[in-house]
């Protein structure tokens, strides 16, 4: 079982609509959580990073939230555009005895249609 | 324009053959990484390097080898021992191994078996 679960697995929305992607994690001890956007056939690009003390962070039309108590994060996309069609990956960073470790979610595949 | 360049974009391997994937960065980053991405799975770490002439195994290193002779370059060899090499391979770099540093990804190499 993946220690970083994302939902939904895929999502189709109309251009201009809003949507929210979810990320639940069980890994610990938590250090930070980052959301990446990956276009088809390209490498992931970082959107936001959330540390333990942060609840909300925005990057343009993207707003990430974090509840470290329930170990949940969300990524809200406002006024979606066709270019938002991509996979959105949640990545949790933990500190282990052996150093840093990143655990990647499987991603939510978003398609924005006219 | 700084970034990470992976080549080739597509690669085909015959049975029993070793192939090498190239990764070059001009971001002056110390740390570099190789990941494997399979459908329905999160990115999995193959190898990483903190500094020139040093590299460590990740979670799925069997059947792979790397070298780090130059700061800018971190080639990955997929050996014949890797029985299921078909995947999308991503190279990344960061300023250091510290988890709050974002990883910058290349655009990947898709490896297939002939």
Q: What is the mean pLDDT of chain B?
A: 93
| Distances in whole angstroms, Cα of residue B36 to Cα of each of A2, A43, B8, B58, B92 | 16, 12, 15, 11, 11
Q: In which band, very low, low, confident or very high, does the pLDDT at A99 lie, cut at 50, 70 and 90? A: low
Specify whether the CB–CB gap between B25 and B95 falls below 8 A: no
The whole-number average pLDDT for the span B57-76 is 96
Token pair 């999995």: residue: B44
pLDDT of B100 strictly over 90: no
pLDDT of A55 strictly over 80: yes
pLDDT of B60 strictly over 80: yes
A51 min Cα distance to partner chain B (Å): 9
CB contact under 8 A, B100 and A43: no
Encode B17-52: b = buried (16+ Cβ within 10 Å), e = exposed: eebebbbbbeeebbbbbbbbbeeeebbbbbbbbeee
pLDDT of B97 strictly over 70: yes
Q: What does DSSP say about strands B109-113 and A86-96: parallel, antiparallel, or unpaired?
A: unpaired
Measured between beta carbons, the chain B residues lying within 8 angstroms of A94 are: 99
pLDDT of B105 strictly over 90: yes
Interface test with B, best of A57, A102, A103, A109 (most B CBs within 10 A): A102
Could you read off the pLDDT of A58-77 as tens digits, one per residue?
999 999 999 989 999 999 99
The whole-number average pLDDT for the span B1-18 is 89
The whole-number average pLDDT for the span A66-89 is 96
Q: What span, in angstroms and rounded, lies between the C-alpha atoms of B1 and A54?
A: 32
DSSP β-bridge partners for residue A51: A32
């Amino acid at each position: 079982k993946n220690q970083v679960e994302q939902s939904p697995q895929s999502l189709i929305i109309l251009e201009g609509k809003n949507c929210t992607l979810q990320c639940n994690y069980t890994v610990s001890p938590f250090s930070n959580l980052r959301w990446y956007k990956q276009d088809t056939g390209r490498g992931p690009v970082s959107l936001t990073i959330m540390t333990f003390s942060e609840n909300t962070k925005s990057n343009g039309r993207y707003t990430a939230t974090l509840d470290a108590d329930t170990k949940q994060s969300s990524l809200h996309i406002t006024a979606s555009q066709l270019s938002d069609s991509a996979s959105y990956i949640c990545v949790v960073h933990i500190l282990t005895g052996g150093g840093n470790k990143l655990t990647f979610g499987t991603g939510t595949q978003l398609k924005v249609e006219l | 324009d700084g970034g990470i360049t992976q080549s080739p974009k597509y690669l085909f391997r015959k049975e029993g053959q070793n192939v090498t994937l190239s990764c070059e960065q001009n971001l002056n980053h110390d740390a570099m990484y190789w990941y494997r991405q399979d459908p329905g799975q999160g990115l999995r770490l193959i190898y990483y390097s903190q500094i020139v002439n040093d590299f460590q195994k990740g979670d799925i290193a069997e059947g792979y080898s790397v070298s780090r002779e130059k700061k800018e370059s971190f080639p990955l060899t997929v050996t014949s021992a890797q029985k299921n090499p078909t995947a999308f391979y991503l190279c990344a770099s960061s300023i250091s191994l510290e988890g709050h540093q974002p990883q910058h990804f290349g655009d990947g190499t898709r490896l297939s078996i002939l």
